[in-house]
Amino acid sequence: MPEIAHIEVETELQRYFAAARLRASDYGTHYVALWDSLEQASSGGKRVRPALVLAAFAGLGGTEMSLAIPVAVSFELLHTAFVIHDDVIDRDLHRRGVANVAGRFTERALAHGAVGTQTGAWATTAAILAGDLALSEAHRALALLPIGAEQRGRLLDLLDRAVFVSAAGELADVTNTASKTPLSVEEVTVTLEQKTAVYSFEAPLMAGAVLAGASEEAIVALGRFGRLVGVAFQLTDDILGVFGDPARTGKSALTDLREGKQTALVAYAGTTGDWPAIAPFVGKADLTQDEAEEARVLLRSCGALQSTDELAIDHARRAVAALDTAAIPAVLRTTLTQLADTSVNRSR
């Protein structure tokens, strides 16, 4: 996204949080701390969703940045809300190595003399409320747009679908854990699309296009591109989660295996004769570096790595193919083709 637009999104988010913090100060220091935690949760990311909104908007002829910025902020805050509520579900107190909302309120509870189950209640309450507040602002930012009813209705429908489908994917992600056998690669892929691709790629791109007043053909093409490229990103993330260099990905290459994350790698391996040898490593909470390496050798030799790689590349290729319409201007096509390349070619 253009640097200037990037700065405007940051400025708008800062303005929003500064106003909320000021307003919160009438309700005590804990509530101000909650808003601080929420702002922290929303910062430090790559602002992928705002970048997609603005790329589609500008790439399809949109010029009124004062309309596009709130839409970009809306999808960023939707992401923040999902991340925060996801952490409650996973009972995580940290994200990217620092205390998240629940982690910060755990510390705060202890500092204020909370005992026993009270500490957990502070943490859960703060995180649920922070997510609710971010989700509310995601809706409000679109609802207040000074545009026509039909256009606003379409944007609200995109947000509605994003919430609806993400909830389905999040639920599937959790209910899948009770499965006694590996999921199919198809099931894994569908869950990735529902849980992430729709709200993170499809909806922001389509929203930017709708706001730019683009043709129906362009809107539909961007939606299809978004779903496919979103899955390509997630499949590649799953590969990097096992085969990546922690120094480059910034993420341990043990976590996914230890947690028994149901990835396409694992799903494919489950269909091969090597599964009995691989299964003991998947979900082994105390997996060692040596065992992880053994798992990697097996995931490679059984064909799971290659198959998942190909699946990601195939999604990226189909994503680019979706752009093959005169409704998508050449410059936008070039930008998005680069994005599709990045989705599968990242540091391992």
* Length in residues, the chain: 348
Site for a copy of itself in 10-39 (CB under 8 A): 20, 23-24, 27-28, 30-31, 34
Task: Examine residue 126 and tell whether it contacts a copy of itself (CB under 8 A).
Answer: yes
Which residue type, as a one-letter code, is found at position 242? Answer: V
Binding mask 155-174 for a copy of itself (x = CB under 8 A): -x--xx--xxx-xx-xxx-x
Among the residue ranges 64-72, 95-103, 152-160, 336-344, the one whose residues contact a copy of itself (CB under 8 A): 152-160
Query: For residue 249, how many C-alpha atoms fall within 13 Å in the half-sphere facing its CB?
Result: 20
Q: Which residues pair with 115 in a beta bridge?
A: none
Count of residues of this chain found to bind a copy of itself when the rule CB under 8 A is applied: 57
Question: Of these, 52, 58, 71, 81, which contacts a copy of itself (CB under 8 A)?
Answer: 81
**Shortest distance, CB of residue 115 to a copy of itself, whole angstroms?**
8
Cβ(67)–Cβ(211) below 8 Å: yes
Among the residue ranges 40-48, 94-102, 108-116, 237-245, the one whose residues contact a copy of itself (CB under 8 A): 108-116
Burial class (CB in 10 A: 0-12, 13-18, 19+), 73: buried
Count other Cβ atoms within 10 Å, centred on residue 328: 23
Task: Examine residue 102 and tell whether it contacts a copy of itself (CB under 8 A).
Answer: no
Of 178, 184, 151, nearest in space to 264 by CA: 184
Task: Examine residue 285 and tell whether it contacts a copy of itself (CB under 8 A).
Answer: no
Using the minimum distance from each CB to a copy of itself, give the nearer residue, 199 or 302.
Answer: 199
**Shortest distance, CB of residue 172 to a copy of itself, whole angstroms?**
7
Using the minimum distance from each CB to a copy of itself, give the nearer residue, 164 or 330.
Answer: 164
Location of structure tokens 């499965």? 179
Burial class (CB in 10 A: 0-12, 13-18, 19+), 67: middle
Which residue type, as a one-letter code, is found at position 239? Answer: I
Q: Which residues pair with 94 in a beta bridge?
A: 99
Q: Is 184 helix (H, G, I), strand (E, B) or coil?
A: coil
Which segments of the chain are extended strands (E)? 94-95, 98-99
Task: Examine residue 85 and tell whether it contacts a copy of itself (CB under 8 A).
Answer: yes
Point out which residues bind a copy of itself (CB under 8 A): 20, 23-24, 27-28, 30-31, 34, 81, 85, 88-90, 109, 112-115, 118, 121-122, 124-126, 128-129, 131-133, 135-136, 139-140, 142-144, 146, 149, 152-153, 156, 159-160, 163-165, 167-168, 170-172, 174-175, 177-178, 180, 194
